[in-house]
Each structure stands twice: as C-alpha cells, then as structure tokens.
Structure 1
Amino acid sequence: MDFGTWPHQLLVVDVEGNGATPPDLVEVAAIPIADGRPVPESARCTLVRPPQPITPFAARIHRISNQAVEGAPSWEQVAPGVHTHLQHAWIAAHNASVDYTALRRHLPGWEPAGVIDTLRLARATYPAAPKYGLDALLAYTAIPLTGIDGQRHRAGFDAHATALLLLNLAGHYPTWDALTAAAVPPGMPGFVSPRHEEPTLW
C-alpha cells in the first residue's frame, strides 16, 4: 500500500451508547492514522453525560456506569469540539453505519469526506474468515493488542484496535482508491459507483 495516496486527515472513530433507542452517546473516541500507523498520542476520547440513564444491558457491555458519567460534560458541551475535529475528515469504523448514523444524529450538518467500513472491507479481503465481528477478525489476523490502553468495548480501545485492523487490511490493496472501492458502503460519503463500459458493436 502506498500511504502517500491516503487522505491528509483519516480518523478511526468509535462511539458507545446508553442503550436507549435511538442511543444517546456516553463515550466518543477518534484516533488519527498518519504515515501508515495509528497516532495514539493525538487521539481524542471523552465521556459524555447522557440525558437518560445508561441501561444495565449497555453497562454490562462497555462497563461505563451512570456514576462514571455523573461529572462528564453533556453532549451540548462537547458537540462543537467534536464537530470541528471530524469536519472534512475521512472516518473509519467497524460496522461503520452504526457509528456514522449515531454521529450524524448528534451532529446536525456534519458530513465527513468519506466513510470506511472495516467490516465491509474485511469481507472483501478475507472471504474465508469464519466471522467478521471485531473480536473474531482481531483473532483471525493475530493483530497484537498489548500496546493499546484501556479495555475492549471502550471507545478509545476499540478505535485503536480498528485502526490496526484497517492497516492490516490495507496491506492487500495497492492504492487508496482500490481500498475505498471495497470499503465504502453504497450511499455513504466517499462512495464511487463502479464504472461500467458502454456496450459497443465490436
């Protein structure tokens, strides 16, 4: 992969919700990729105090309690900074429609430059993989996670792990355009319709 073809600003994002339908955000993280590697020292992550309590089911998954977010800022307080940070960037996420939809609902008027879905990309890259959840793909690719701070199902950890997965998958594509052709879901920013040759008589 020629990382010189990659966009200037690519952020791998992850969000965690409070279990409501639709969910209120309780944690948001974004880690940049530059020169073919994640840049954890430039990552941003924040807890958010949701307007409705975190459900017991959601808390069991991400282990963020209502007590943990009591002193966190509200979404109204963090939204301007999140919007500015994500504006005009390419974003990547695992099962990206979930994160993209949640962020779009919380950030009216926000539109990223494009959306990379590592789930879609993994299906194209590893057709023989037994499963395509993040845990299963991390195990299948044997990506080491020992240097990541935090724990699984927290936004910062999952964004960093997804960034490593993205770089693993990127090694199978020669250019950014080839990667995005496999990774951007139809209907999302950055999607380019496949070119079809016009029929001819000869």
Structure 2
Amino acid sequence: MIEPTWAEAPLVAVDLEGTGSQDRDQEAILEIAVVPITGGRPVPCSAYSTLINPGRPVPRRPWISPGLNDTVLSSAPPLGDVEPRLAERLTGSWIVGHNIAVDWRLLHRCCLSIQPAGLLDTLKLARAEHPGVRTGMGLTALLDRYELTRETAGAVPSGQPHRALWDAVAAALLLTALVGRHWPTSPTLAQLREVAEIPLAPTPPHSSPQSDTLF
C-alpha cells in the first residue's frame, strides 16, 4: 500500500476563541472556524465559521476580541446546535492548528462527539524547523517571518488576527510553508506526523455543556 502524501490526507485547519483557561470548567467557546485543506492549500470558500452563544455574559479580557461581546453573541447559536456540524467536518480528519493542544483541550471537553484522526501542530513543526528558538514562535510572528500576512488578509478580507477564521486560514498557510522548508520533497503523512503530531487528549470524565441562551 502506497503511503499518501501529507497533501492527500484529510486535513482541516481549526481555530477557536474562548473565554480563557482561568475559567476552568466554565471556560466557554465564543467562536470557531474549520477550514478544509485540499492539495496542501486552505479552501476558505468552503470554510465553516460561526459565533457561539456561551450561555452567560462574556468577561472583558485583553485576549477576547471586542467583536466578541454580549450583544453579538446573544443572537449566535448555542454550542449544542453547532456541535453536529463540527463533528461532520472534523471526525476522521487530521486537525491542524497553531498550538492546537489549547484549542483541542476545550473543544474535546465541550464536544465529545468529535473524533478526529489526530492533531498536527504548526507550533511543534516550527520549533523543529527552528531548533533552540523560543521567541517569535507565535502565529502572527511566524506569518511575518514567512511573508504570509498579506496572503492571509487576501484570503480572509473581512477578517482580522485573533479571530477564528483568520487564524485558521493562517495556520493552514503556515503549515504549507513549513512543510516546504522542512522537507526537500513532499513528505508522506507519516513523515509529517513524526514531526508535527501531538497526542489526542484522553476522554474527560465529564463535560460541561454550554446553556442555550446568553443570559
């Protein structure tokens, strides 16, 4: 059996915006985007992106975009309505993201029906490409390093950094750039996994579903 190249594998870039890990079991998802990657390139026109009603007021925190506020989120669908659409797009696929363990921890705790094939982390791949470097490894910095900021803006003209769709497309573009630098020829999925895969978290003992309304 011929091992598929990484570009032939079922890949989807994912990013979500949440209230923050300090909320512990009450941490809520506010926005999520899923961007298919076909032939090694993101397909923004086929992306699924949505705001999510967290079922409670959103605290003011520096990392929460001003666009993710109570007024906007009160008319968004609750996570229970969104989860089946996410499961359809993610189950059986390889989830790509920058520091994807953070997103997966929250997504997995809130949406147990989602069962991906695995996780591929562009941060882990970037560290393999730049061994010993510990600064400038954030998504925005790496986009600048690889001259991908303008391309991301062109692919998401109505988006902005630190919003789900922008960051998901950016992670997909970064993956392609890093693969191109790390391997002289297109690697197999197995080769990419050796460098970029992180383990799926074990199933948590319980989940904390979000309620149906903002207030």
| Match status 1:100 vs 2:107 | no
| Match status 1:138 vs 2:157 | no
Greater RCO structure (CA 8 Å; 6+ sep): 2
CA 51–146 in structure 1, closer or farther in 2 if over 3 Å, else same:
closer
Output the CA distance in 2 between the equivalents of 1:158 and 1:57: 19
TM-score under structure 2 length normalisation: 0.79
Of 200, 208, 212, which residue of structure 2 is paired with 1:188? 200
**CA root-mean-square deviation:** 2.1
CA 5–39 in structure 1, closer or farther in 2 if over 3 Å, else same:
same
Matching residue of 2:47:
43
Aligned pairs for 1:11-50 (under 5 A) are 11-19=12-20, 20-22=23-25, 23-50=27-54
Output the CA distance in 1 between the equivalents of 2:132 and 2:109: 35
Instruction: Report the 3-state secondary structure (helix = DSSP H, G, I; strand = E; otherwise coil) of the residue aligned with 1:57.
Output: coil
User: Is the CA contact 1:148–1:161 (under 8 Å) kept in the aligned structure 2?
Assistant: no
Superposition deviation, residue 5 in structure 1 = 1.2
Name the larger-Rg structure.
1
Matching residue of 1:148:
155
Matching residue of 1:168:
177
User: Is the CA contact 1:18–1:58 (under 8 Å) kept in the aligned structure 2?
Assistant: no
Q: Deviations over 1:144-185 (max 9, x none)?
A: 333132001110000001111011011122412222111012
Superposition deviation, residue 12 in structure 1 = 0.3
Superposition deviation, residue 188 in structure 1 = 2.8
Q: Deviations over 1:41-69 (max 9, x none)?
A: 11110000002221100564463111111
User: Is the CA contact 1:62–1:153 (under 8 Å) kept in the aligned structure 2?
Assistant: no
User: Is the CA contact 2:87–2:115 (under 8 Å) kept in the aligned structure 1?
Assistant: no
Output the CA distance in 2 between the equivalents of 1:110 and 1:58: 29
Q: Deviations over 1:9-45 (max 9, x none)?
A: 2100001113333421110101011012110111110
- % identity of equivalent residues: 38
User: Is the CA contact 1:62–1:154 (under 8 Å) kept in the aligned structure 2?
Assistant: no
Instruction: Report the 3-state secondary structure (helix = DSSP H, G, I; strand = E; otherwise coil) of the residue aligned with 1:68.
Output: helix
Output the CA distance in 2 between the equivalents of 1:45 and 1:58: 22
Structure 1: runs of 5 or more not aligned: 190-202
Structure 2: runs of 5 or more not aligned: 202-215
